[in-house]
Structure 1
């Protein structure tokens, strides 16, 4: 079982969440299968309910492996859904808490922001209604440093490619 957990963890880290979007929107999957018992949003779950200092991901209170728990079908997850969620949690963790610390005071969630106001046009993240190039906009928005603007662009693009929605 330990080998399977390690393999699942490695696979989840290597697979880009956008590549899994055709199977399921990780945000919607979390909200449908997990939010009833855990935090309403996956980002809150990762930062509030998982131990930020532990690798691989473990529960803050239980100390148990998230991969092992998901692998056993916690939340009635299929193996494919477990892989999607584990990759999603890892991507959230890797992206840091930049949205939480710099953006959340004005924008409720990154997923909500992307769904309401942003769109990928010809591979470029763009303001849905303004047509503004978001990479350029972030350099002068939210008091982001150049490296934070680049990091936030990556987060928003990851979400835009993983969220199933009709444009």
Structure 2
């Protein structure tokens, strides 16, 4: 029985960082661990400091692999934190620069917008104070095309879901 207990304890130690990783808000993690030395917001970091045309992502000036740097503990990151940030940078890259080009003139950052004004209620993104359905609102807001409105909804929902896990 001691062998089984030891094995379960070892497994719990190995799984704990993964569980923590799924609970962390990547925007907050970036702001707490990276923003003092890099751009204040993760989106700016990805678009201004990384070569987004490279796979894997590389530093624009250094040419070094972002994944390799994070995995070596750059910024004193834990392995779980490095995994969260790398996935976050990839998600930002995949989502394109729609927020930067269509929304940023009025809204500072997507994460700031979500924190201040949006919330997931019954799996629907709504205005935190207005109760407005954001999927419907985006169809007539910001001169977004229907595909852009859908894309932006996905970005905002991803941010809201990650923020909700840490509330």
- Please state which band the TM-score falls in when normalised by the shorter chain: 0.7 to 0.9
The aligned counterpart of 1:39 is 39
Q: Aligned ranges for residues 65-104 of structure 1 at < 5 Å?
A: 65-104=65-104
Secondary structure at the aligned position of 2:29 is classed as helix
Deviation at 1:61, TM superposition (A): 0.3
Structure 2 runs not aligned, ≥5 long: 1-19
Rg comparison, structure with higher value: 2
1:20 Cα offset (Å):
4.2
> Could you say which residue in structure 2 is the equivalent of 1:162?
162
* Higher share in helix: 2
Tell me the TM-score normalised to structure 2 length. Answer: 0.85
**Cα deviation, residue 162, structure 1:** 0.6
Q: Which runs of 5+ in 1 are unaligned?
A: 1-18
- The offset of 1:130, in angstroms, is 1.0
Q: Cα distance, 1:55 vs. partner?
A: 1.1
Alignment size in residue pairs: 147
**47-56 vs 146-155, which moves further:** 47-56
SS at match of 1:129: coil
**Does structure 2 conserve the Cα–Cα contact (< 8 Å) formed by 1:21 and 1:161?**
no
The whole-number CA distance in structure 1 between the counterparts of 2:160 and 2:136 is 17
Dislocated runs of 4+, deviation >2 Å: none
Shift of 1:141: 0.2
- The residue that corresponds to 2:49 in the other structure is 49
Identify which of structures 1 and 2 has the higher relative contact order when contacts are C-alpha pairs closer than 8 Å and 6+ apart: 1
1:101 Cα deviation from its structure 2 partner: 0.3
Equivalent residue for 1:30?
A: 30
Please give the alpha-carbon distance, in whole angstroms, between the structure 2 residues aligned to 1:26 and 1:85.
6
Contact 1:21 1:163 in 2 (8 A): no
- TM-score relative to the length of structure 1: 0.85
Q: For the aligned residues, what is the CA RMSD?
A: 1.2
Contact 1:20–1:162 (8 Å) recurs in 2: no
